[in-house]
Amino acid sequence: MKKFSFAALLSGALFGLGLAMSGMTDPRRVLGFLDVFGEFDPTLAFVLGGAVATTTLLFRFVLRRGSPVLADTFQLSNLKHVDARLLGGAALFGIGWGIAGYCPGPALAGLGIGSTEALWFVPAMLAGILLHRLVNRA
């Protein structure tokens, strides 16, 4: 378990560093990317494109291993259909991303660099997670 926790911490720190270095912890940059009819900033497209290209190239090689390095099996979704909950969740996520300029990863990385926006966003995000759990428990 210690190896798994350390690997998770290291992976999260590397991800956060990448977000900070690429400027994705700045909500103004994200909002600039979403403002296609205003002051459009295409830099997020390069970050997203790099992530998609890396995943596309390397995912099949990772799955050939048979199992992850620090776990017994891969945890892959077996869902094959799009339903109302998925569409609603995606829409809500997109609306929140467009309003705040943050999604969970950059928001947490933003906390690490002292972003004022992240100090407001993260508690609201945690409240939303708690509300979701309370509603789905009933």
54 vs 19, higher pLDDT: 54
Sign of CA dihedral 53, 105, 73, 84: negative
How does DSSP assign 48-76, residue by residue? HHHHHHHHHHHHHHHHTTSS-TTSSS---
Tell me what pLDDT residue 54 has: 93
How far apart are the C-alpha atoms of 126 and 107, rounded to whole Å? 11
Arithmetic mean of pLDDT over the chain: 87
How far apart are the C-alpha atoms of 16 and 109, rounded to whole Å? 5
Per the structure, how many domains does the chain have?
A: 1
Residue 15: burial class (beta carbons within 10 Å; 0-12, 13-18, 19+) = middle
Model's pTM, two decimal places? 0.68
Per-residue confidence band for 104, with pLDDT thresholds at 50, 70 and 90? confident
Domain that holds residue 84: 2-137
- The arithmetic mean of pLDDT across residues 42-50, rounded, is 88
Most confident of 1-5, 6-10, 68-72: 6-10
User: pLDDT by residue (tens digit) across 105-133?
Assistant: 888 888 888 888 889 899 999 998 899 89
